[in-house]
Amino acid sequence: MHWWFPSNASSVGGQVDSLFYVILYITGAVFVLVEAGLLVFLVRYRRRDGRRATYVEGSTRAEIIWTTIPAVILVSLALFSQPLWSRIKSADTYPPNADHLAVEAKQFEWRVTYPGPDGKLGTDDDFMQKDELHLVVNHDYVIDLTSRDVVHDFFIPAFRIKQDAVPGMLIKVWVRPTVVGTYELACAELCGLGHYRMRAQVVVQTDSDYAAWLRSQGQATSSAPAASPTAQEGTP
Amino acid sequence: MTAHAEAVAHAAHDDRSFIRKYVFSTDHKTIGIQFLFLSLFFLLVGGLLAMGIRWQLGFPGQAMPLGGWLPQSVAPGGVVAPKTYNSLVTMHGTFMIFFAVMPLLVGVFANYLIPLKIGAPDMAFPRLNMWSFWLMIPSGGLMLASLFVLGGSSAAGWTVYAPLSATPDYSGVHLGQQLWCLSIVIFGLSSLLGSVNYITTVVNLRAPGMTWFRLPLSVWALFITAVLAILAVPILAGAVIMLLFDQTIGTHFFQPDVGGQPLMWQHLFWFFGHPEVYILILPAMGIASDIIANGARKPIFGYSSMVYAMIAIAFLGFVVWGHHMFQSGMNPTLASTFMVSTIVIAVPSAIKVFNWLGTLWRGNIHFTTPMLNALAFVSMFIIGGLSGIFMASTPVDMYIHGTYFIVAHIHYVLFGGSLFAVFAGIYFWYPKMFGRQMSERWGKVHFALTFVFYNLTFFPMHILGIGGEMRRIYDPTVYDFLRPLQPINVFITINAFLLGLSQLVFAANFIGSLFKGEKAERNPWRDTGLEWTTASPPPHGNFAETPHVYHGPYEYSVPGMDDDFLPVTTPPTGRAA
């Protein structure tokens, strides 16, 4: 039974997880302290006949303490989160030598455009593959994410990456897979009746496996386009 | 005050016709009770829709019990269809937020409590007040009707993101989404009329001696909520009218191919939507504060910092909406700004929690049913508040945004927070409203069942979210990485059904006590508030003579007094006696 994070397979996932654990430990400690305090008070100061509550209206010192401490912890958390965030999402900090791919979301499929053998998007040898995203391990990619119809969301849980695909916008998403394997790409924004089956495979391969796949694509594109594994209706 | 004199004259001989007294009444107490029945009905509707959602998630693709009664187009062979599922999710959120929790907190308690608690004979604008209730009938009626029209009800989520919601071609929903828009516009009008009324009443109709800093925290909370509503609801109404135009007359405000902006919908919606979150929690905080002081037999700890914290929440509530849009394609630098404001708004919430604990410290805590529910509010709000910090951190949000972690968070705030406070408030003021007590024993049974099954239902959703399960997914078993989580979904579904069934205890207690409940005295909870100095239920016009207020709202266990509470109307000389 695996009831926790899917194992991480990207360059940023580890840092996202660490930040999650930092917040988990801080909030966990606060949770235990405050709820325990609440329970202790409930037991200790439960109603007993002949005893009166103490008439206390407040304490300025206490107010200052419990305003300052949470404020300091929370603001440092924000400062701590900021660098990782801008590294993941600010397009001007992306690695300049990254490979480019284009992903277009549409109801209810992911259309991935590969640059083909020349490595450039927008040339004649580009080819499109539905619902399959092939990546070379330890390579930087910048994905041009668009949507043809409604708002979708590009979510690869194993990479900890999530980004809405918005019609009318081109959003650049940086990924760097670090572990060879097959993962899932999910749509994480309600996009219509087939939303739940808007799923694609992410295949992270070694350089040579990728090259072999690329060659096979050169042959396949001349014949019929690859069938989408999720093209059929779901259960009912 | 002449208004008082007139009201007193009215109270003496109440000769209103049946229709004027119980149907088209301008009496704030009747209107509050009308809101109570209406919003409890919608709570039931929202709850039943949630049962449908849970069945499908726990047992995807299996025929729902009684599902065979549904039309084939909705549930072929009793199995929820994918589009039906999206409608269930959308309408559950819509009914719960707009027609259950918001009217329960504001419609019921602002109407019923504000005049009684400030010593006024009625609202400043009783006729507007009547309209604010009666507009909820067409509004709620249209929303209910949208469940039965061709093409089904709105299926774009309660946030109805454009362009999915704006274009029938994308959603398959035609009339249903238009009815949704109309209903929400009428709802907005109702909410505005109510808010104008609450604000004016608190500003102008306070009894002599009821200064601003003698207002109970419940009245402060409802006042601040009304200010929030008056600033936020028009934005929603405007946005929804634009959406309606996009659907009906081809305006394309939110459609990019002809110059519209999908993100503009999200900005407008959340500019309303985030203050709305505080509209749904501030009154709960106020109600819980009143009840905790009463239950602990102690003045509220740090009264003025409680007031300032609520004012701070109201201000900051308008500059945090972007945290719903961290992953939306909004400029990431702008997201950083919203992260800071979001983090800062956690501080006043923390202040409030610590002050509630301070109130309990060295108290003499009476575990009545309202007090138990108010304490549950505090302990669950702590969890909901802390889980919000994960989403505030933009990189962590990147992973948990749109997963069950956020579903857990919203339910810890809205059910664990708001609804427990609503239960607390109903148990507490029921004797004043109806002149009879609800059963304490069955109240405690209801509380215990609700508290246990509530936590067993919603806590595991955090784990689903960490596992990556997306919200609003018709069938999670489509995904390989989600299949191992399915036993958790089954567990949640079973507990959700038990949570739903536990509410029958409340319904039986509520309805039964109307007829069989023990007669309530004026002040069954030995409370200091003004509403407890008049009869249960109070007559038309509320008070036999205009009350005079001499003390702050929470004078419990005052040293040197025999009683452990000092009603706000007791003249200062009474203290020596």
Cβ of B157: how many Cβ atoms within 10 Å?
A: 20
User: Cα B167 vs. chain centroid, distance in angstroms?
Assistant: 31
Which tokens hold the place of B388?
């919000």
| DSSP letter, residue B62 | S
Beta strands in A71-168 (DSSP E): 99-106, 109-114, 127-130, 132-136, 141-147, 152-156, 161-165
Q: Are B125 and B197 in contact (CB under 8 A)?
A: yes
The reported pLDDT for the residue numbered A217 is 83
For β-strands A132-136 and A161-165, DSSP reports them as unpaired
Q: Do A236 and B467 touch (CB under 8 A)?
A: no
Report if residue A7 sits inside a domain: no
Q: Indicate whether A65 and A122 sit together in one domain.
A: no
Q: Could you give the percent of chain B with pLDDT greater than 70?
A: 97
CATH number at residue A131: 2.60.40.420
pLDDT of B22: 87
Contact B354 A6 (CB under 8 A): no
A231 has pLDDT over 70: no
A20: domain range?
Answer: 13-47+55-89
Q: Is the same domain home to A119 and A160?
A: yes
For residues B201 and B123, give the distance between their C-alpha atoms in angstroms, rounded to a whole number: 6
Distance CA B108, CA B287 (A): 12
User: Are A193 and B156 a contacting pair at CB < 8 A?
Assistant: no
Residue A103 in any domain: the answer is yes
| Eight-class DSSP state of B572 | G
pLDDT at A228 over 50: no
Minimum-distance CB partner of A20 among B383, B396, B468: B396
What is d(CA A213, CA A113) in angstroms, rounded to the nearest whole number? 14
Instruction: State the angle between helix axes of B440-466 and B486-516 in degrees (0 to 180), rounded to the nearest 10.
Output: 160
- Write down the pTM of the prediction: 0.94
Average pLDDT over chain B, rounded to an integer: 95
pLDDT number for residue A219: 65
Looking at the complex, does the CB of residue B460 fall below 8 Å from at least one CB of chain A? Answer: no
Same domain? A113 vs A202: yes
> Are B350 and A66 an interchain contact pair (Cβ–Cβ within 8 Å)?
yes
Inter-residue contact A121 to A103 (CB < 8 Å): no
Tell me whether the omega of the peptide bond preceding residue B510 falls within 30 degrees of 0, making it cis. no
A119 and A172 share a domain?
yes
What does the buried/exposed string (b/e) look like for B416-453 if buried means 16 or more CB atoms within 10 Å of the residue's CB? bbbbbbbbbbbbbbbbbbbbbbbbeebbbbbbebbbeb
The tokens 């069955």 sit on which residue?
B442
Q: Which two tokens stand for residue A79?
A: 């400062």
B478 and chain A: CB distance < 8 Å anywhere? yes
In B, which residues are within 8 Å of A201 by CB distance? Answer: none
Residues A193, A216 share a domain: yes
Compute, in degrees rounded to 10, the torsion defined by CA atoms A205, A208, A213, A214.
Answer: 110
Do A172 and A116 lie in one domain? The reply is: yes
The answer to whether residue A33 is domain-embedded is yes
For the cut 50, the answer to whether the pLDDT of residue A227 exceeds it is no
Question: Which of A89, A111, A146 corresponds to the end of one domain?
Answer: A89
Q: Are residues A117 and A142 in the same domain?
A: yes
User: Least CA distance to A36: which residue of chain B?
Assistant: B379
Q: Is A226 contained in some domain?
A: no
- Cβ–Cβ below 8 Å for B350 and A5: no
- Burial (Cβ within 10 Å: 0-12, 13-18, ≥19) of residue A221: middle
Cα(B167)–Cα(B180) distance, rounded to whole angstroms?
Answer: 14
Distances (CA, A) of A194 to B81, B147, B362, B465: 11, 20, 57, 21
Minimal Cβ distance to B364: which of A45, A164, A169: A45
- Cross-chain Cβ contact B256/A169 below 8 Å: yes
Instruction: Answer yes or no: is A151 within a domain.
Output: yes
Query: Same structural domain for residues A79 and A180?
Result: no
d(CA B548, CA B462): 50
Kindly give the confidence (pLDDT) of every residue in chain B, 577 residues in length, as a single tens digit, with 9 standing for 90 and above.
Answer: 445 555 554 555 577 888 888 899 999 999 999 999 999 999 999 999 999 999 999 999 999 988 888 988 899 999 999 999 999 999 999 999 999 999 999 999 999 999 999 999 999 999 999 999 999 999 999 999 999 999 999 999 999 999 999 999 999 999 999 999 999 999 999 999 999 999 999 999 999 999 999 999 999 999 999 999 999 999 999 999 999 999 999 999 999 988 899 999 999 999 999 999 999 999 999 999 999 999 999 999 999 999 999 999 999 999 999 999 999 999 999 999 999 999 999 999 999 999 999 999 999 999 999 999 999 999 999 999 999 999 999 999 999 999 999 999 999 999 999 999 999 999 999 999 999 999 999 999 999 999 999 999 999 999 999 999 999 999 999 999 999 999 999 999 999 999 999 999 999 999 999 999 999 999 999 999 999 999 999 999 999 999 999 999 999 999 999 999 999 999 987 444 4
Instruction: Tell me the pLDDT of chain A averaged across its residues.
Output: 91
Which of B353, B396, B474 faces A19 most closely, judged by CB atoms?
B396
Q: Which of A1, A169, A184 sits opposite B480 (nearest CB)?
A: A184
| Cβ–Cβ pairs < 8 A, chains A and B | 305
Cβ neighbors of A23 (< 8 A, separation 6 or more) are A77, B389, B390, B393, B396
Domains in chain B, ordered, with CATH? 24-575 (1.20.210.10)
pLDDT of A11 strictly over 80: yes
Specify the 3-state DSSP secondary structure of B299: coil
Phi, psi at residue A198, to the nearest 5°? -85, 80
- Considering the domain architecture, whether residues A158 and A43 belong to the same structural domain is answered as no
The shortest C-alpha distance from A222 to chain B (Å) reads 31
Provide the chain B residues 262-281 that lie in CB contact (below 8 A) with chain A. Answer: 262-263
Domains contained in chain A, number: 2
Q: Is residue A227 in some structural domain? A: no
Q: Do B332 and A90 touch (CB under 8 A)?
A: yes
Predicted complex: ipTM over 0.90: yes
Same domain as A202, residue A126: yes
Instruction: Give a yes or no: residue A228 inside a domain.
Output: no
- Using CB atoms, pick whichever of A58, A162, A196 lies closest to residue B399: A162
Best to test chain A binding among B382, B393, B407 (most A CBs inside 10 Å): B393
Q: Which residues on chain B are in Cβ contact (under 8 Å) with A191?
A: 164
Please state the length of chain B.
577
Residues A78 and A103 in one domain: no
Same domain, A120 and A59: no
Q: How much is the average pLDDT of A24-46?
A: 97
The 3-state DSSP class for residue A134 equals strand
**What SS3 state is found at A105?**
strand
Q: Which residues of B379-415 are buried (b: 16+ CB within 10 A; e: fewer)?
A: bbbbbbbbbbbbbbbbbbbbbbbbbbbbbbbbbbbbb
Domain presence at residue A202: yes
Question: Is B525 near chain A, with CB under 8 Å?
Answer: no
Q: Which residue of B has its CA nearest to A52?
A: B364
Residue B265 near residue A189 (C-beta atoms within 8 A): no
Q: How big is chain B by its Cα radius of gyration, in Å?
A: 24
Write the residue in B367, B396, B556 that is nearest to A16 by C-beta.
B396
